[in-house]
Amino acid sequence: MTVLALVLSGCGADLGGPCSATEPCSEGVCDLTNPGGGECVDADGDEDGDGIPNKRDFCQHEMGGEYDEDLDGLGDICDACPIAPPPAQADSDGDEVDSPCDPDPSTKGDRIVVFDGFNSGALPMGWKSTMAWTFQGGEAVVTPGSPTAVETLSAPLPLVSSHIAVLARWRVDRVDTAATENAVRITAIDQRPAGTTTIACGSSRVAGTDRLVVDTGISSAQDTVDGLFDPASLYRGALKIDGAQAQCALIADRDAGAAQAMTSGENMTQAGLAAKGATIRFGYLLAVQRP
């Protein structure tokens, strides 16, 4: 969600003095992104000249930075894991991606290539979606147009690679009881002139039974998990593709599940989200790639 930087006052350092998330400034705001360590800066100043005053800029040394999805004081564009505040695990492999965002914390080379917390109120630039999507209150909300419609949203990926992880968070608003299947999917897509391959991971409800399903086009696997369409629950899912294997994992308030299936080893060109037979509120989409 969109928030304003906290203007720290009271006991603490003066402008130019050291500060931290737990050691406030007596005036100004704490610049947590200072390469030399936290420093108190003028709240109305603009350290990086991007037009965003320090009191609303969570990345004072990089253009942009008005959004802080995980509320840890580091802006989404300069956060090594924008979906998890401290104590997120440290960057053990030195590739500047922290766990739980890093799908391979012991292997270097991972990069956060896509992240959006849907705070701007519009479809992110360069992304594509069907008409059923709206963006409000820091969420991408999809309401399928019919019980059979599969509504999709996708973001382009910058690397040519078969090593990718796509993560998302969502809530279920409403389930369409007229649909033969209710589904929430995290997707990775290989779209080429010769054809399109979609690998999908997520929740499925058919005839009253809930399952976590991963489908690669050449194989599929599932895990029976209860309560995958509970409006009171928060869901976090991850699709990880590593060469010829796809892994799907989901964590809910009361349960969790995992499944894996073989792929054809495609290089994914898009990451995305999809829904069928249910109104879903997605909190973010994150994609990590390694060459």
Residue type, 164: I
- Give the per-residue pLDDT at 128: 97
Q: Which amino acid is at 217?
A: G
For residues 30 and 39, give the distance between their C-alpha atoms in angstroms, rounded to a whole number: 6
For residue 229, give the nearest of 187, 282, 175, 286 by alpha carbon: 175
Mean pLDDT to the nearest integer, 192-212: 93
Neighbouring residues of 200: CB distance < 8 A, sequence distance ≥ 6: 185, 186, 187, 213, 214, 215, 239, 274
Average pLDDT in the 12-32 region?
A: 91
| pTM of the predicted protein model | 0.91
Structure confidence at residue 11 (pLDDT)? 57
What span, in angstroms and rounded, lies between the C-alpha atoms of 29 and 55?
6
Q: Does domain 114-290 have CATH number 3.40.50.261?
A: no
Cα dihedral value 159, 160, 166, 172, nearest 10: 100
Q: What is the pLDDT of residue 3?
A: 40
Whether 8 has a pLDDT exceeding 60, the answer reads no
In the chain, where does the domain assigned CATH 2.60.120.200 lie? 114-290
Q: How confident is the model at residue 192 (pLDDT cuts 50, 70, 90)?
A: confident
pLDDT of residue 280: 98
Q: Is the pLDDT reported for residue 82 higher than 90?
A: yes
Q: Which helix (H) or strand (E) holds 175?
A: strand 163-175
Residue 14: is its pLDDT beyond 80? yes
From CA 122, how far away is CA 18, in angstroms rounded?
38
Residue 87 has pLDDT above 80, yes or no: no
**Percent with pLDDT over 70 in the chain:** 96
CB contact at 8 A, 83 and 114: no
